[in-house]
Amino acid sequence: MPLIHRKKPTEKPSSPSEDLPDEDDDSQKKSHGKKQNGGTENKVKWSCVDSCCWFIGCVCVTWWFLLFLYNAMPASFPQYVTEAITGPLPDPPGVKLKKEGLKAKHPVVFIPGIVTGGLELWEGKHCADGLFRKRLWGGTFGEVYKRPLCWVEHMSLDNETGLDPAGIRIRAVSGLVAADYFAPGYFVWAVLIANLAHIGYEEKNMYMAAYDWRLSFQNTEVRDQTLSRMKSNIELMVSTNGGKKAVIVPHSMGVLYFLHFMKWVEAPAPMGGGGGPDWCARHIKAVMNIGGPAIAPGFLDTDIFRLQTLQHVMRMTRTWDSTMSMIPKGGDTIWGGLDWSPEHGYTCSGKKQKSNGTRSEDSENLISKTKPVNYGRIISFGKDVAEAPPSEIKNIDFRGAVKGQSIPNNTCRDVWTEYHDMGIGGIKTIAEYKVYTADAVIDLLHYVAPKMMARGSAHFSYGIADDLDDPKYDHPRHWSNPLETKLPNAPEMEIYSLYGVGIPTERSYIYKLNQSPDSCIPFQIFTSAHEEDEDSCLKAGVYNVDGDETVPVLSAGFMCAKAWRGKTRFNPSGIKTYVREYNHSPPANLLEGRGTQSGAHVDIMGNFALIEDIMRVATGGNGSDLGLDQVHSGIFEWSERIDLKL
Amino acid sequence: MSSLIQRKKPSEKPSPPPEELPPPDDDSQSKSSKSHKKPNEKVKWSCLDSCCWFIGCVCLTWWFLLFLYNAMPASFPQYVTEAITGPLPDPPGVKLKKEGLKAKHPVVFIPGIVTGGLELWEGKQCADGLFRKRLWGGTFGEVYKRPLCWVEHMSLDNETGLDPAGIRIRAVSGLVAADYFAPGYFVWAVLIANLAHIGYEEKNMYMAAYDWRLSFQNTEVRDQTLSRMKSNIELMVSTNGGKKAVIVPHSMGVLYFLHFMKWVEAPAPMGGGGGPDWCAKHIKAVMNIGGPFLGVPKAVAGLFSAEAKDVAVARAIAPGFLDTDIFRLQTLQHIMRMTRTWDSTMSMIPKGGDTIWGGLDWSPEKGHTCSGKKQKNNKTRGEAGENKTKPVNYGRIISFGKEVAEAPPSEIENIDFRGAVKGQSIPNNTCRDVWTEYHDMGIGGIKAIAEYKVYTADAVIDLLNYVAPKMMARGAAHFSYGIADDLDDPKYEHHRHWSNPLETKLPNAPEMEIYSLYGVGIPTERSYIYKLNQSPDSCIPFHIFTSAHEEDEESCLKAGVYNVDGDETVPVLSAGFMCAKAWRGKTRFNPSGIKTYIREYNHSPPANLLEGRGTQSGAHVDIMGNFALIEDIMRVATGGNGSDLGHDQVHSGIFDWSERIDLKL
């Protein structure tokens, strides 16, 4: 209203047409450009603030009009447009299978991965007033921008115990809403849920086993009794569904969580769930692991070293024990040594081995077969080292090196990264060691972040068991490592490994010392390391391999392809395993959103082929109904090269 | 807006014509070249542009205020409130935390009818895009956008009382199911927030959401809700170190939990097979909030003519509004068709008949006055000889005409309607598609009903059986409204008796406690004056005679409804009688002598608007934000018992009234 009043006086002088020269001037000025000549007379007001208002008004009106049209539009319109452009879409799997007459049969349990589950506030400090039961993780992340330090403080765990800090309680959202959408419009489980609903699923036979993914797996039970809750819910669903066993669908880190659960539930009561030795056999029909980092992606490595601009974030993530579950397991035996790796010979040309063959025949300048990548060297300091033959590498052992007390930058002390305890001497020795294989990486982490790793080693372990019957493997810290545990005694169960392939995935890194005095993190990826050759696997300091963008094929597929295949010591009851790979093809156009044939780590949750596979198993199908294995990568070949006692 | 546009147009349009037409005028010579440009521009500015300008201003101001609002510290509203009303009392969560109380027993919430959210899992074409969106609760946006589609989806099959083909509506699960009914309208949220203060979280709080449209046993048949509840209580008890659960049912949830307690101990095919000591092992206390143990008269009005007091008043204010078509749909009839498919509404029909609710010439609440000052000025007036402000015959739940409602019993001649032949002549053929069953009754049947004049609680059941035989047949499979003579009679093992406290025994759990917490001090519907509906458009031949009222302001009769003390929905008698008398001590309804307590909360409306719905309310739903009630619940949840709370706390005449009820105990 006050603005309206202000406008009136501007009109009045103009309507009496006596002061002619002024008007002429103004109209000329207008034609030039309204905003430039600010100083003179009343008209100028029109042209400055008012035209601003005018513009915003126009935008708003147009916006409302469009919004109105959008709301008035029939719901099938977008689909109609899409079909007009791209031709008829395939039926979503839910509709397709409904036409085939399939109906809901086995209860389905979803186990979300790290990061994708929502977390909400139950008790907080003063700065988080008004956020009670609001999502701090997931949703719009509005609070990250509004009060970032408060947010970091609340999301962090206690760095000694790995549990809640005093006065702060952040808990997992429960129910299907916990992870159906990660952020508005960014689906995780929603597509799968919607398709299952088509054939009759609802909340009574679908269960989202949401857990606080920041905690170590055993701590979710200690603090929230999440494992007990999961056990009780699976038992309930099986009994209310007429004894039909459950189909478990874990995604990403949920795969490890469920491995842990299967050991926990059959272990005796004080430490385990006391379900008895045949609990899994009685309650689980199939485990359909999606993009499972069964033996770890390169997630943590990047996480630890790369976020140098965000020391606060780093301090936060380092308090999350669960991130340590994804450190590569199995050491050199699985991931390769200085001179070999299972993926030896893989090229990133996209045309697969083919062009590789022709090129080696041409022996083009003897570039050593497009420089086979030494994937085994997970961290190398300098590109030349990464490519050098093993004999030329001289490692100076860092393990014994004394940590100096001289701190390059005192301001870093409050950031809990432990680097300040290392001193310049320690940092140098690390860089001098040059090349780290999987085994050495564990030692490296122990050296770099001893406190964190000490906490981690209480909950996780990364080795390979020589003797699985050794009683030391009864401890919970081994339960999520498939190389140190036996599968349950459940010969009728099936284990699937479903994952995307065809996307370059980080496998090993070239690092350099960080010379910048501002940074608290003394290492960084040597991003300018790359090859001229476009087909090279080296991109910005990272050697890529086939995978789903986060998990390399080897990690997702090896257990099902080899270590659990048939009756092995890891799989004494001969549980059937299947590998199902889905070739990535990006969405054809923008209308498709994140695509229905994606192979990316999270987007694969909307892959129609994968959803159909899950639904067929949920409605009673088994591995042979799906067509057994479906392989696009070299997983079997690569697994063959791994020399693991079975 | 419009004034702005109009003002400018006249002021400027007159000026261009003299310039544009011939150029004989005074000022045109020098600037004829430029002049025709200028007016054009001006006119544009003044019409559409100033529109835009105005909207832009409004938007900017709005954003600015929004920004201010967001930038404001969160404690600001509280600060303002305190500046105006003086310091607020600590919420009970903060208060008890200071006392050092900590979360102890797991807590289970059981929401009532209407307050639980329902969402769509499978629907017809018209509900595209609503998958997993709330159809009930939340913003109710779809009611306005596609009302007929909404009614179709919310209805159940009128034969089976289960899902119609192709439609699946399911209860929302988790605490979100009933924390807020609509944005900003809390139900359980305040209680949850206070419990969270002393350490509760989702692992020791559980919202037993169920589809409140179904009959209680059908929630188990279709969704296994009772099994789920059993399993969750067992889980919570075992993960909390064996500490028994405190159950907090609200409204219809009270009946649902009565049903559950019988179900869980009954053997497996029909029950949950938990064994005869399940309740003793798992339940510490049941804290019923506003429980309609014996039903509510409101349910009768709802089923009989689809109107509660609120609707009746609306009709009195705007008579043409509800009776005629809105959006070409006859609102009431559609609502009636929808609600009549919900079996659960029949759980709230008054139970116990004339023994509890009173007959033609007496009622337990006899002598109650609505003056607000209680019995006091009743006496003085009785001395003045004014017929004691016409004592209300609450026993006559439905009367046709005001004079009948007030007549002495001897003057009432009832012509029995039960045998009356239902005619096939239908007053209005268009009503056929609306499934109200009234069209089967014909004019003869309708007349017979009106001629019976007065219906007591027993007769009301017969009336509903006559008026809506199909619905009541469905209901009779799931609910019963009588009083058991012999509770050991094997016929009472059927699940339809489980939610009627007058036909079941409490479980054998001597350590358990049962509380009845409810608000008092608000006029609550108790009996109705009806009349025949003469309007030819309406498909419902009866409605509440809203013009019946007394001149006396203190009368209990308001707009055709006799009111009594209660919480606006549930009369005191229904909420309190079981705990005040029928279960008090060792009775045949309570063989193990479970301790019972009555806690009444006097209603006092919020002092000012800033308080929202108040912290001392006694209204049926608003009581969930009553600090005194929340504190009581929290004290029990943290290990307290009845004597810690101070035993009974009574404001109404519940003990007097209970005394007058002659029930074999």
Span A50-87, pLDDT tens digits: 777 777 777 888 888 888 887 776 666 666 776 677 66
User: Which candidate in B46, B155, B215, B251 is catalytic?
Assistant: B251
Element (DSSP H or E) covering residue A570: none
- Residue B566 confidence (pLDDT): 85
Predicted confidence at residue B235, as pLDDT, reads 92
pLDDT given at position B374: 43
Residue B105 designated active-site: no
pLDDT (0 to 100) of residue A453: 81
Question: Do residue A204 and residue B223 have CB atoms under 8 angstroms apart?
Answer: yes
Give residue B287's pLDDT. Answer: 92
pLDDT at A518: 55
- Rounded to 10 degrees, the C-alpha dihedral A363/A366/A372/A374 comes to 160
CB contacts < 8 A, A to B, total 135
Tens-place pLDDT, residues A441-465: 888 878 777 777 888 888 888 888 8
* Over residues A390-400, mean pLDDT: 63
C-alpha span between A169 and B196 (Å, rounded): 10
Q: Which of B4, B42, B57, B232 to mutate to test the interface with A (most CBs of A within 10 A)?
A: B57
CB A314 within 8 A of CB A417: yes
Over residues A325-376, the pLDDT tens digits come to: 878 888 888 887 777 778 777 776 554 444 344 444 444 443 444 566 777 7
- Strand-strand pairing, A379-381 and A503-513: parallel
pLDDT of residue B282: 92
User: Which is nearest to A113 in space by CA: A6, A209, A22?
Assistant: A209
A514 Cβ contact partners less than 8 Å away, ≥ 6 residues apart: A308, A521, A522, A523, A524
pLDDT of residue A348: 65
CB count, 10 Å around CB of A398?
Answer: 20
DSSP for B101-165, written as a single string: ----S-EEEE--TTTS-EEEEE--GGGTT-BT-EEESTT-HHHHHSHHHHHHHHPPPTTTSSPPT
CA distance A160 to A165: 10
Helix (H) or strand (E) segment spanning residue B96: helix B92-98
CA of B338 vs chain A CAs: smallest distance (Å): 23
> Quick check: B203 and A224 CB within 8 A?
yes
CA distances to A54, A108, A450, A617, B663 from A105, rounded to whole Å, are 60, 9, 49, 9, 51
**Scanning every residue of chain A, which has its alpha carbon at the shortest distance from the alpha carbon of B272?**
A240
Q: Which of B27, B174, B203 sits opposite A175 (nearest CB)?
A: B174
Give the Cα separation of A402 and A11 in Å (integer). Answer: 81
User: A212 CB contacts (<8 Å, ≥6 apart)?
Assistant: A117, A119, A170, A171, A172, A220, A223, A224, A226
Closest approach of A227 to chain B, Cα-based (Å): 11
Handedness of CA A18, A19, A20, A23 (dihedral sign): negative
**pLDDT of the residue at A108:** 93
Over residues A144-183, the pLDDT tens digits come to 777 778 888 888 888 788 888 888 899 988 888 888 888 7
Is A318 within 8 Å of A452 (Cβ atoms)? Answer: yes
Name the DSSP letter for residue A435: E
Residue pointed to by tokens 């949850």: B192
Query: Which among A11, A60, A228 has CB closest to B235?
Result: A228
Q: Which pLDDT score is estimated for A369?
A: 45
In chain A, what residues touch B53 (CB-CB under 8 Å)?
A: 7, 50, 53-54, 57
Q: Based on the residue annotation, tell me whether B620 is a catalytic residue of this protein.
A: yes
CA angle B304, B501, B589 (to 5 degrees): 150
Tell me if chain A has a CB within 8 Å of the CB of B53: yes
pLDDT in tens, B586-632: 888 888 889 999 999 888 877 666 666 777 888 888 888 888 899 99
* CA–CA distance, A189 with A177 (Å, rounded to integer): 9
Task: Count how many Cα atoms sit within 13 Å of the Cα of residue B563 in the half-sphere of its side chain.
Answer: 25
Q: How far is A244 from chain B (nearest CA, A)?
A: 15
* Distance separating alpha carbons of residues A19 and B300, to the nearest angstrom: 79
Query: Which among B27, B53, B170 is the nearest to A53, CB-wise?
Result: B53
Q: Given CB atoms, is A415 within the 8 Å cutoff of chain B?
A: no
Cross-chain Cβ contact A52/B54 below 8 Å: no
**CB neighbours of A353 closer than 8 A, spacing ≥ 6?**
A345, A347, A634
* Confidence bin at B173 (pLDDT 50/70/90): confident
Mean residue pLDDT across chain B: 76
Q: Which residue of A has its CA nearest to B120?
A: A202
Report pLDDT for A287. 92
Residue A513 pairs in a beta bridge with: A523
Mutate to test the interface with B, among A5, A11, A211 (most CBs of B within 10 A): A11
Joined together, the tokens standing for residue A237 give 């669903």
CA distance A632 to A617: 21
Q: Which range scores top for mean pLDDT: A262-271, B279-288, B489-498, B527-536?
A: B279-288
Q: What percent of chain A has pLDDT over 90?
A: 9
Cβ–Cβ gap A61/B52 under 8 Å:
yes
Average pLDDT of A290-305?
Answer: 56
CB contact, 8 Å: A56 with chain B? yes
Query: Is the model's pLDDT at A293 over the cut of 60?
Result: yes
Higher pLDDT, B66 or B544: B66
Q: Is A543 helix (H, G, I), strand (E, B) or coil?
A: strand
Q: Which residue of A has its CA nearest to B206?
A: A174
Lowest mean pLDDT among A453-457, B114-118, B380-384, B569-573: B380-384
Alpha-carbon distance of A156 to B174, in angstroms, equals 26
**B468-496: b or e for each residue (b if 16 or more CB lie within 10 Å)?**
beebbebbebbbbbebbeeeeeeebeebb
B31, B75, B168 member nearest A20 (Cβ): B31
Return the H-helix or E-strand segment holding A96: helix A93-99
Q: Which residues of chain A from 161 to 200 reach within 8 Å of chain B, CB to CB?
A: 169, 171, 174-177, 180, 193-194, 197-198, 200
Count the residues in chain A: 646
- A227 pLDDT tier (thresholds 50, 70, 90): very high
Cα–Cα distance, A153 to A316 (Å, whole number): 8
A625 to each of A105, A196, A608, how far by Cα in Å?
16, 18, 17
Of the two residues B271 and A407, the one the predictor is more confident about is B271
The Cα of A420 is separated from the nearest Cα of chain B by a number of Å equal to 37
Please give the average per-residue pLDDT across B247-273, as a whole number: 89
The counts of H helices and E strands in chain B are 28, 17
Q: Which of B27, B199, B239 sits opposite A20 (nearest CB)?
A: B27
Determine the straight-line distance between the first and last CA of chain A, rounded to whole angstroms. 81
A597 Cβ contact partners less than 8 Å away, ≥ 6 residues apart: A582, A583, A584, A585, A587, A607, A608, A609
The shortest C-alpha distance from A202 to chain B (Å) reads: 7
Q: Which residue of A has its CA nearest to B70?
A: A146
Q: Enumerate the residues of chain A whose CB falls inside 8 A of the CB of residue B55.
A: 56-57, 60-61
B51 vs B319, higher pLDDT: B51
Residue A508 is predicted with a pLDDT of 80
With a cut of 50, say whether residue B665 has pLDDT above it.
yes
Residue with tokens 């669960």: A322
Instruction: Give the pLDDT confidence of A365-378 residue by residue, as tens digits.
Output: 434 445 667 777 87
Q: Given a cut of 70, is residue B276 above it in pLDDT? A: yes
Secondary element (H or E) of residue A90: none
Which SS3 state, helix, strand or coil, does residue A4 take? Answer: helix
Res B260: pLDDT: 92
pLDDT tier at B248, thresholds 50, 70, 90: very high
State the pTM of this model: 0.81
CB atoms within 10 A of CB A567: 13
Q: Which residues pair with A246 in a beta bridge?
A: A284
Q: DSSP class of residue B640?
A: -
pLDDT given for residue A111 in this prediction: 92
Contact B60 A53 (CB under 8 A): yes
How buried is A602 (Cβ within 10 angstroms: 0-12 exposed, 13-18 middle, 19+ buried)?
buried
Active site residue ranges of A: 252, 548, 601
Establish if A454 touches chain B: CB-CB under 8 angstroms.
Answer: no
What span, in angstroms and rounded, lies between the C-alpha atoms of B129 and A130?
32
Q: Mark yes or no for CB contact B8/A4 under 8 Å.
A: no
How far apart are alpha carbons A581 and B302 in whole angstroms? 59
For residue A395, what pLDDT is reported?
61
Res A401: pLDDT: 57
Instruction: Return the H-helix or E-strand segment holding A281.
Output: helix A279-283
Q: Which of B565, B567, B632, B648 is catalytic?
A: B567
Residue B22's pLDDT band (cuts 50, 70, 90): very low
pLDDT tens by residue, B467-479: 777 778 888 888 8
Give the mean model confidence (pLDDT) for residues A212-218. Answer: 88
**Joined tokens for residue A377:** 């060297």
The answer to whether A235 contacts B235, with C-beta atoms less than 8 Å apart, is: no
Per-residue tokens: A83 = 């079909």
- Supply the pLDDT for residue B325: 39
Structure tokens at B410: 């001897």
- Residue A532 CA to residue A255 CA, distance in Å, equals 38
For residue A251, the distance in angstroms to the closest alpha carbon of chain B comes to: 22
CA distance A132 to A150: 14
Confidence grade of residue B87 (pLDDT, cut at 50, 70, 90) = low
Max alpha carbon distance in chain A (Å)?
105
- Judged by CB atoms closer than 8 Å, whether chains meet at B59 and A54 is answered as no
CA-closest candidate to residue B581, choices B654, B481, B491, B486: B654
Check if B550 contacts A (Cβ < 8 Å). Answer: no
Q: Beta strands of A337-409 (E only): which ranges? A: 379-381
CB contacts, 8 Å: B4 with chain A: 4
| Residue B250 DSSP class | B
Report the C-alpha gap between A227 and B4 in whole angstroms.
67
